[in-house]
Amino acid sequence: MPVLFVTGGSRGIGAAVARAAAADGYDVALTYANDATAASDVTAEVETAGRRALAIRCDVAREADVVAAFAALDDAFGAPDAVVLNAGITGGFCRVDELDGAMLERVLAVNVHGAFTCAREAVRRMSTAHGGRGGSIVFVSSRAASLGSPGEYVHYAASKAAVNTLTIGLAKEVAREGVRVNAISPGLIATEIHARAGRPERLEKIAPQIPMGRAGTPQEVAAAILWLASPAASYVSGAVLDVGGGR
């Protein structure tokens, strides 16, 4: 059975990826930061779909956690076929002239440092140059990287721009080693990320500004991620695909 590894798979877009992957026939290893109950709910759904599932506690900002999470994946399922690097935080809402240094450090640690260390561990397992059998990496970026998100979270937007550059550069590094690397840029998606960062009204407020007039669903993002991860996207690498309702 093919194996898919997804970071931040306990809730939101990552949980939708885990469910869609199980439906597509993958065994699923997912990580979570704090919410063990949400993680075990998702692994139970994967198992109900007839696939193997593993939940691993991992703060992607901590290199030791990332190394341990991939080691747990090795022990349980072996090398992954698809790796979805989804874990991310906004850090909350503020202007640049209101930034708190510790918050900025945390956003960059989770969104940028975490993406790099996870990608490193994935390449070490999948690249044919490391004895692997190839595979696909999909980063979860954001439309914020292009929009800049003034007055909301330029810090978050900039962290996702770094993820886009990582996607483009890494794709070229491993293109002849059997590994495709792409990113998805979701627009406004209906998950808990907005309320947990202190703006529960954000979905309703911004939806009218979106060309399609609505927020997207985690399932709509997951479908695009699963396509990029699959052999159906065999000539797609270095792409940053918008899933933003036209925004």
Give the nearer residue to ligand NAP in terms of CB position, either 189 or 233.
189
Give the nearer residue to ligand NAP in terms of CB position, either 129 or 161.
161
SS3 annotation, 93-142? CCCHHHCCHHHHHHHHHHHHHHHHHHHHHHHHHHCHHHCCCCEEEEEECC
Residue 153 known to be catalytic: no
Determine how many CB atoms are found less than 10 A away from the CB of residue 18: 32
State the DSSP H helix or E strand holding residue 85, giving kind and residue range, or none if neither.
strand 82-85
* Closest residue by Cα to residue 151 from 211, 97, 215, 102: 97
Beta carbon of residue 26, minimum distance to ligand NAP (angstroms, whole number): 18
Beta carbon of residue 221, minimum distance to ligand NAP (angstroms, whole number): 7
Round to whole Å and give the CA distance between 83 and 136.
6
The residue annotated as part of the active site, out of 32, 153, 156, 235, is 156
Binding site for ligand NAP (CB under 6 A): 7-14, 31-35, 38, 58-61, 86-89, 110, 140, 142, 186, 188-189, 191-193, 196
Give the nearer residue to ligand NAP in terms of CB position, either 121 or 132.
121
Round to whole Å and give the CA distance between 162 and 208.
28
Give the nearer residue to ligand NAP in terms of CB position, either 117 or 127.
117
Beta carbon of residue 86, minimum distance to ligand NAP (angstroms, whole number): 5
Beta carbon of residue 178, minimum distance to ligand NAP (angstroms, whole number): 26
Coil, helix or strand for 63? Answer: helix
Round to whole Å and give the CA distance between 36 and 40.
6
Give the nearer residue to ligand NAP in terms of CB position, either 74 or 192.
192
- Residue 164 burial (10 A CB sphere; 0-12, 13-18, 19+): middle
Residues, the chain, total? 247
Beta carbon of residue 235, minimum distance to ligand NAP (angstroms, whole number): 25
Helix then strand then coil, in percent of the chain rounded to 5, is: 50, 15, 35
Give the nearer residue to ligand NAP in terms of CB position, either 10 or 237.
10
Beta carbon of residue 129, minimum distance to ligand NAP (angstroms, whole number): 28
Which residue reads 């809402």 in tokens?
A: 93
The catalytic residues are 156
